[in-house]
Structure 1
Amino acid sequence: MNWKQIAESWLAFDQLDEELRTELEQIKHDDQAMQDAFYEPLKFGTGGIRGVLGAGINRMNIYTVRKAAKGLALYLERYGSDFKKHGVVVAYDSRYKSKEFAIETARVLGVHGIKTYVFTSLRPTPELSFAVRHLGTAAGVMITASHNPPEYNGYKVYNETGGQLPPEQADLMIEKVNGIENELTIEVMDQEALEEQGLLQWIDEDVDKAYLSELKSITLNADVISKQADELNIVFTPLHGTAGKLVTQGLKQLGFNQVHLVEEQMIADPEFSTVESPNPEEHQAFEYAIGLGEKVDADILVATDPDADRLGVAAKNAAGNYQVLSGNQLGALMLDYILANTKEIPSNGMMIKTIVTSELGRAVAEHYGIQSMDVLTGFKFISEKIEEFQQTSTHTFMFGYEESYGYLINDFSRDKDAVQSTMMACEMAAFYNEKGMTLFDALETLYEQHGYYIEDLHSVKMEGIDGAKEIARLMDRFRENPVNTAGDLNAEIVEDYTTGRRTYLADGREEEIELPSANVLKVKMSDDCWYCLRPSGTEPKMKFYFGVKGETREEADRRLEQLKKAILENM
């Protein structure tokens, strides 16, 4: 059926949810709005499905959630009845409809005889990942749209290891979802019947306690924390999301006494009313934290996104003003701190980062004698490698991170973990505070030691059908004619992750890229500089990544401006 026929079938469905029916009645004469809502189903990307709340197959609503849940049930049945007996654990964040979507998931899974464990109240994504492992379930579901605006929600699926579905499993899941012809007629059970039959079990503090117990294991310098317990001033905000309880309890059990909460943002608010965007990557999200920081003379400001998988940190710069560290900077600092304070670094130690993450991390890892591994964008690929290491004993996982503010220290959870990262960032701040240094002082030391690595990201929102076409056009254009010069920089290697080929421009030699296929193009320039193009997997955006290195900050800044200008002028 075309989009008009699908839209008509929704309007004709006599059991359609009344709220959704009202919305459709309001827009049914607006062809553009109806087409956007029905032109294609929401697709699984790097983080499951994510979209604007509303009516239609291209929107997040109870029917698209039921379709995802039905696909999950069929996916689990593919592995046999014994596997699905382990059940599914579901968590949700503070967004509109999140708890409703969690219960809808249980109502669908119950029809297939699959038990669902659902948290009684909102919880962070990393705790969902941990809960899969702790409870031994066959899968997990996190209802969240991460750091997207309030009108969004999403649905992330995790496998039995606690990681998001890697490509092979995601393909099978997508196949099952796409095979469902009519999302409106998916059978569901009543919540009361689920509870009576033991197919819905509510969970809460027992899992919290188990997670907090594991959280103690990441501490490297308990003595430093003890000495700095009353000295280090910490400001924390969960940006109206899920991290409030676990972060405050985690910092308390570490022994930090000077933790100041941004009270206005401790409230779980689906409107995220005090920020333009609940994203710690956006510096405006720190406005309230900076205000409180100035009042209490804080040494470190920490902000987590709504589902607490991303962490942003701000500290005082050389001018004495609070400045937000980039994800690349904070990741390199944590990696250096972890390796410098690990008593015995294993000879097979491995740091994992994504292909668009700074090369500074690789330089730090090499300094301590451990290897680095690049994976595709998406933390599921880091999680997949961690599981591979455990199964084969080939490497010991030391740290994993991505430029978009996601870090993992210990693998008891298998997704980026802002709760863990907050503990490590505060411990690291205490370590440097004892030495009379800020985090920016420590960063400058890293730059002096390894070179000035600077990165930037330019995102362009391209929504709807026309936006998707424009993204495809841009990718084709750069594949056919990549930018080969930028100031004193020259292209040396082109990596096309769609074809899986790496081409050396000097002699035309080609080799295989040993990573899954992805719609990504990366061009490596001279002197450790590079740029990369990638459509977002979770938002209607085209992303341009830039990375440069200079012997001085001035040289790095100049190269970054030259590279950005050369690429963006060719959009």
Structure 2
Amino acid sequence: MNATDALAAAKQASSDGKLSETAVENIQCWLTEDRYAQYRDQVAAEIAEEKWQALDDAFWTIIPFGTGGRRGRMYPIGSNAINDRTIGESAQGLADYVVEYHKGQKDLSCVIAYDTRHKSRHFAELCAGIMVAAGFKVYFLDDYRATPQLSYAVRYKNCDCGIMVTASHNPPSDNAVKVYWSSGAQVLPPHDKAIIDGVMSCEEIRVAPFDQALAEGKVEIITKEIDEAFLKVTAEQAFKGSRDVRILYTPLHGVGAEAVMPLLAADGFSEVEVYGPHEEKSGDFPNVPGHVSNPENKAVFEAPIEHAKANGFDLILATDPDCDRLGVAAPKTLDASGEWGTFNGNQIGALLADYILGKRKEAGTLSADHYVVKTLVTTELIRSLCDSYGVQCISDLLVGFKYIAEAMDANGPDKFVFGTEESHGYLVGQYCRDKDGAVACMLLSELAAELKQRGVSMHDHLAELYRTHGLHQEYLINLVMEGSEGMAAMQRLMKAFRETPPKSMAGIPVTRVRDYLNSVATDTASGEQSPLDGPVGNLIIMDLAEEGNYVAARPSGTEPKIKLYVFTKLGADESQDLDAAAAKLGQRLEALESDMRTFAKENS
């Protein structure tokens, strides 16, 4: 089938309801424009085979830059898929913008790293060739390495930008590029928009052969250099104390062992075992439930917990495939053979915040000028902890660790203590500007050893924090909405939250709606609107009549889903009987979830 006939067939398929109009528009570009010439036959062949659903998925939109870069399902063709063209456009758009931004500057440089996913090495070499062709010196991590190592390497080598090839904790079908600025943080406004403009207008992708660039010294391998420097600087974040704890670590088939194991050893932990069934580096993530290596998912801990119970481990640590997120499980009591439980991202953040602030206070290195950073959808227990230690809590941030990095630099990194977000991301120190699963593993291990020495389980320690600061419970609802129909449903639902929000949830009146996209807060009783200070982004928060209880909604920046966040709280006086408090909030969470799901079903 030639291009003309293929386009006619695609248009007919759209008339028959088999392809969206936007898919036909993008298919037309790939069939007729010179920049897509090498893919023309492949597109035509799939049209000839009437692969309408696959074509609609691959072409219904142009894959966007989200909170973490450009991420999606891999497919050989398509504007809404990860492939050589969309990855190439991303690298070319970055290269062109950096060249323009530093107009006249020579010696531009870029660091590139990659994880264990399918085609990650291929995409990394492709990006390297594009950056070299644009005049950059490329520093290349020549093996599977962690995202925080890439962030650190950008700063360590004083580079102008960086590229990490990873889709983090997404399914095996996905891949992505995360794009970093010279700060070591993922790109922020106005750079992100300018790069997107460059990507969208990219005509020609210029690529230097990787092997030739390597032979000519235009690509330099720095794996060993970064490994050594990263280990040194992360080990400097340690606190003194007991190291008597048995740790089971799972990299969930990702890159984490190369960062976590040396760091734990350097910090004095001698009894650490890598969980064998998850040790293989594989983009298929074969031995985790559903083949999704996400430490937020309790199911990934089920098999490791059985191994830990049988072999006397005190703690289980899990990092996602690119080792920037941490998940944790521990025994409910000091008996490792008894019942175990996992911790969610907010709970880990609170445990780490209290530990780090406590250690800093002991050392006399805290002042009223020091600060902790969290996002708008991260537990307010962090704020209460900051208040108790007399430090600031900066929290008026959109979702995405790049905003925490921005706050670090805006407020002075010398006074930065800790950054945390509910999706299991944590950072201390100044060495990088992204979340670091390795350093979080080290600090959590230190806390576990200290608690073991005191004869307290980690779960009991968290319970004590709740009695002191009030019980905080949060819940995340993921509403998956794939494809063009899903995008339309997401837009309808967010519109409904803005214009016709629920009057009450779980029997508690909704008193205010905070719309961060339009920077307006609406009093639901009077309908009066007032300016809303804060960041601008597609986030809505609905405050309930009971203080500290609220719900939030936002489309994910990395996956085809809407995330609904539910926050509940009781005061310290109501939290002394923790079982009764937990039962009360548990019922409230269930009711809030039910009401949110019902509203979403009716309005999407």
CA distance in 1, matches of 2:106, 2:255: 28
Q: Contact (CA 8 Å) 1:4, 1:35: kept in 2 or not?
A: no
User: What residue number does 1:451 align with?
Assistant: 470
**Which residue of 560, 564, 567 maps to 2:593?**
564
Q: CA deviation at 1:113?
A: 0.8
Q: CA deviation at 1:187?
A: 2.0
Give the alignment of 1:83-482 within 5 angstroms: 85-180=107-202, 182=203, 185-220=204-239, 222-225=240-243, 228=244, 232-275=245-288, 276=290, 277-318=292-333, 320-342=338-360, 343-344=363-364, 345-374=366-395, 375-390=397-412, 396-482=415-501
Q: CA deviation at 1:30?
A: 2.1
CA distance in 2, matches of 1:143, 1:52: 13
Q: Contact (CA 8 Å) 1:302, 1:314: kept in 2 or not?
A: yes
**Taking structure 1 as reference, are residues 192 and 568 closer, same or farther at Cα in structure 2, changes over 3 Å only?**
closer
- CA offsets 1:194-219 (integer angstroms, 9 cap, x no match): 22443211121111110110112211
CA distance in 1, matches of 2:56, 2:119: 23
CA distance in 1, matches of 2:230, 2:145: 12
Q: Quick one: which amino acid aligns to residue 168 of structure 1?
A: P
**Which residue of 582, 588, 600 maps to 1:553?**
582
Q: CA deviation at 1:308?
A: 0.5
CA distance in 2, matches of 1:448, 1:135: 46
Moved more, 519-528 or 125-134: 519-528
Mark the runs of 5 or more structure 2 residues left unpaired by the alignment.
1-23, 575-580
Give the alignment of 1:56-95 within 5 angstroms: 56-81=78-103, 85-95=107-117
CA distance in 1, matches of 2:561, 2:44: 26
Q: Contact (CA 8 Å) 1:6, 1:38: kept in 2 or not?
A: no
Give the alignment of 1:33-72 within 5 angstroms: 33-54=54-75, 55-72=77-94
CA distance in 1, matches of 2:349, 2:83: 36
Secondary structure of the residue aligned to 2:63 is coil
- CA offsets 1:168-225 (integer angstroms, 9 cap, x no match): 2111111111121x4xx422111233224432111211111101101122112x2323
CA distance in 2, matches of 1:503, 1:496: 8
Q: TM-score, normalised by structure 2?
A: 0.88
Q: Contact (CA 8 Å) 1:491, 1:524: kept in 2 or not?
A: yes
CA distance in 2, matches of 1:506, 1:371: 33
**Taking structure 1 as reference, are residues 175 and 4 closer, same or farther at Cα in structure 2, changes over 3 Å only?**
closer
Secondary structure of the residue aligned to 2:144 is coil
Count residues with an aligned counterpart. Answer: 557
Q: Contact (CA 8 Å) 2:30, 2:39: kept in 1 or not?
A: no
Q: CA deviation at 1:557?
A: 1.6
Q: Quick one: which amino acid aligns to residue 347 of structure 1?
A: A
CA distance in 2, matches of 1:308, 1:357: 20
Secondary structure of the residue aligned to 2:66 is coil
Provide the aligned C-alpha RMSD in A.
2.1
- CA offsets 1:351-387 (integer angstroms, 9 cap, x no match): 1111111111111111111121121001000000111
Q: CA deviation at 1:554?
A: 2.3
CA distance in 2, matches of 1:540, 1:561: 24
Q: CA deviation at 1:250?
A: 0.6
Q: CA deviation at 1:167?
A: 2.5
Q: Quick one: which amino acid aligns to residue 328 of structure 2?
A: V
Q: Contact (CA 8 Å) 1:77, 1:84: kept in 2 or not?
A: no
Secondary structure of the residue aligned to 1:165 is coil
User: What residue number does 2:6 align with?
Assistant: none
Percent identity between the aligned chains? 34
User: What residue number does 2:561 align with?
Assistant: 541
Q: CA deviation at 1:505?
A: 4.3
Q: TM-score, normalised by structure 1?
A: 0.93
Secondary structure of the residue aligned to 1:6 is helix
CA distance in 1, matches of 2:237, 2:125: 34
Secondary structure of the residue aligned to 1:120 is strand
Moved more, 557-566 or 244-253: 557-566
- CA offsets 1:375-421 (integer angstroms, 9 cap, x no match): 10010000001111228x7xx21111111111112221111110010
Q: CA deviation at 1:512?
A: 3.6
Q: Contact (CA 8 Å) 2:316, 2:330: kept in 1 or not?
A: yes
Q: Contact (CA 8 Å) 1:86, 1:136: kept in 2 or not?
A: no
Q: Contact (CA 8 Å) 1:106, 1:115: kept in 2 or not?
A: no
**Taking structure 1 as reference, are residues 12 and 381 closer, same or farther at Cα in structure 2, changes over 3 Å only?**
closer
Q: CA deviation at 1:564?
A: 1.9
User: What residue number does 2:28 align with?
Assistant: 5
**Taking structure 1 as reference, are residues 336 and 254 closer, same or farther at Cα in structure 2, changes over 3 Å only?**
same
Q: Quick one: which amino acid aligns to residue 250 of structure 2?
A: T
Q: Contact (CA 8 Å) 1:365, 1:372: kept in 2 or not?
A: yes
- CA offsets 1:497-528 (integer angstroms, 9 cap, x no match): 11012334466665443433211110111221
**Taking structure 1 as reference, are residues 312 and 12 closer, same or farther at Cα in structure 2, changes over 3 Å only?**
closer
Moved more, 92-101 or 292-301: 292-301
Q: Quick one: which amino acid aligns to residue 145 of structure 2?
A: R
Q: Contact (CA 8 Å) 2:31, 2:44: kept in 1 or not?
A: no
- CA offsets 1:53-76 (integer angstroms, 9 cap, x no match): 112121111111110011011110
User: What residue number does 2:51 align with?
Assistant: 30
- CA offsets 1:529-568 (integer angstroms, 9 cap, x no match): 0100111100001111100012222222222222222222
CA distance in 1, matches of 2:33, 2:221: 33
Q: CA deviation at 1:153?
A: 0.2
**Taking structure 1 as reference, are residues 415 and 273 closer, same or farther at Cα in structure 2, changes over 3 Å only?**
same
Q: Contact (CA 8 Å) 2:141, 2:221: kept in 1 or not?
A: yes
CA distance in 2, matches of 1:83, 1:49: 27
Q: Contact (CA 8 Å) 1:27, 1:33: kept in 2 or not?
A: no
Moved more, 333-342 or 79-88: 79-88
Secondary structure of the residue aligned to 2:432 is coil
Moved more, 511-520 or 350-359: 511-520
CA distance in 2, matches of 1:27, 1:403: 46
